[in-house]
Amino acid sequence: MNSSLANTTMKGKDQMKSSHSCIPSASSQILQKCCIRGNQKGKHDCDLPCSFSSESHVLSTVNIFEMAQAQLLHHTSKKEDDPSIASQPLNSHSDLSLEVLDDFQLALLLQASAEMFSKRHYERATELLSLCNLSASLTGTPVQRVVYYYSEALREKIDKETKSITGLQLDRLVDFEVKPTGVEELFLCSKPHSEKRLHLIDFGIRSGSHWTILMQALANRGDYPLELLKITAIGTSKQVVDETGKRLSSFAAENMKFPFFFKAVVSEMKDLSKDLFELDTNEVVVVYSEYILGGMLAWPNHLEVVLRFIKNLNPCVIVVIETEANTNEPIFMDLFNGSVFLYAALFDCLEAFMERDNQHRMEFERLVLREVIHNVITCEGEGRIFRNVRLEVWRALFEKFGIKETELSESSLYQANLMADRSAHGFCTLDMDGNCLTIKWKGTPIVFASAWKFVHD
């Protein structure tokens, strides 16, 4: 399995055609597609924050980086290594604002710097990063903010490679989560919908807030009243797990008429054993994993151990929520682009909901996204703990353990779509990929939510 995780599906790159325009044909197609999408009026048209301009509604942050990648591929296909690529203007589309044009140039500088680094042209890469620093900003457009943090990470990567300084070590795993529009609590309301004794096992529980909605729904389930609800929470911090247990127990006492039990299991995932769980043959077991399995991709042997452990629990259903992206590539430019597209979408999402000088936004970007970006770009081997693979990779992996995806209920999908329509200016969309639900921001996949079952012989 190690090879299947390390060597994820390599994507082919389309050959760029020659063009007399300053934008290659691939970039023009991206631009045209976005402009067509932006001209379609709909019910989601609404007042946006002043920092969220109509231009960025037409052209997302990810689209700008896609155009920069296409421009770079067009340039390198002609075997030109001259960093002057960054000075080529994007002047064939006069309808674009100066801000978008400047963002494109900045994204292209970052792409070119990463390309120079991948070719071990460290001096050229550093020169391009210096140019990036002239326009990158912690408080600017999403592109300027993405470039700021990636430039910082690339410079650190270059320093590591040239051994001029000792690289910063990542000492802790940030509690990093992207909530998929609240859809995680919807599956369990319908999957074991008629069971009377329910045992929920939550891998890596955090605040536990996602369970309160489910608990309320179970309390109001008139047709099949619940006789017992147990939640076993797994974590590495006893204090965090205990505090979560107190909050959920208090909520249950106020809102639920049936017995509620909470059990804390403080353990590393790889060290879990069945005797840590108070399992009862009369209970239906549900396993819930939110951004936990993906965090084990750096240790594939440990991941195998955890999957075998889950099988021994004999769960009715396994709910898996993971980031839908590819940041597990062995080739640097594939890794770089996979991460840029993911985090560009997240920065774009923050732009839609918060002003650029919002302190909570800036703290989240500085304390969370910065650390993730640095870890992905600068660390290797087991030190790179933030890894993501696409849904199809999870499918292939789960199939080896006899785990098959199962359908989500129609009611949960209806509720998820309703929440997406209400919460994200129409920019958040939900698509089905097989039986799994993929959450996208302006067309870029961010998260998938899914339900799985073991296929017994």
Average pLDDT over residues 201-220: 85
pLDDT of res. 433 = 92
Q: Which of 49, 15, 97, 127 is nearest to 361 (CA)?
A: 49
In the predicted structure, residue 171 carries a pLDDT above the cut 90: no
| CA-only gyration radius of the chain, Å | 24
The torsion angles phi and psi of 437, rounded to 5 degrees, stand at -100, 125
pLDDT at 338 over 70: yes
Q: What dihedral do alpha carbons 88, 92, 96, 99 form, nearest 10°? A: 10
CATH 3.40.50.150 fits 183-324+390-454, yes or no: yes
Distances (CA, A) of 381 to 1, 187, 202, 384, 443: 16, 35, 28, 6, 31
The residue with greater pLDDT, 293 or 164, is 293
Candidate from 315-329, 347-361, 418-432 with smallest mean pLDDT? 418-432
Say if residue 168's pLDDT is above 70: no
> What contacts 155, CB < 8 A, 6 or more positions away?
126, 129
CATH 3.40.50.150 domain span(s) along the chain? 183-324+390-454
**Residue 347: pLDDT over 90:** yes
Highest mean pLDDT: which of 350-359, 408-417, 423-432? 350-359
**What would the pLDDT profile of 106-165 be if each residue is shown by its tens digit?**
999 999 999 999 999 999 999 999 999 999 999 999 999 999 999 999 999 999 988 743
Query: What letter represents residue 435's amino acid?
Result: N
**Range with the lowest mean pLDDT among 49-58, 221-230, 425-434?**
49-58
pLDDT by residue (tens digit) across 377-424? 999 988 999 999 999 999 999 999 999 999 887 777 777 777 777 666
- The predicted model gives 419-434 an average pLDDT of 80
Select the more confidently predicted residue: 18 or 87. 87
The position carrying tokens 């996204």 is 369
Report the percentage of the chain scoring pLDDT > 70: 75
Per-residue pLDDT, 195? 75
- Cα torsion for 251, 209, 241, 173, to the nearest 10°? -170
Under 8 Å between Cβ of 62 and 345: yes
**pTM of the predicted structure, to 2 decimals:** 0.79
Q: Residue 4: is its pLDDT beyond 90? A: no
Query: Residue 78: what pLDDT?
Result: 67
Report pLDDT for 411: 72
Distance in angstroms (rounded) separating the CA atoms of residues 110 and 146: 10
Please tell me the distance from the alpha carbon of residue 294 to that of residue 269, in angstroms, as a whole number.
Answer: 12
Q: What is the pLDDT of residue 187?
A: 53
The model's pLDDT over 25-55, given as tens digits with 9 standing for 90+, comes to 554 554 444 433 333 333 333 333 333 333 4
109/75 Cα distance (integer angstroms): 13
In this structure, how many other beta carbons lie within 10 angstroms of the beta carbon of residue 278? 12
Q: In terms of DSSP bridges, do strands 228-235 and 260-266 run parallel, antiparallel, or are they unpaired? A: parallel
Segment 270-288 mean pLDDT: 91
pLDDT of residue 13: 33
Mean pLDDT of 284-293: 94
CB 237 within 8 A of CB 204: no
User: What mean pLDDT is reported for the chain?
Assistant: 80
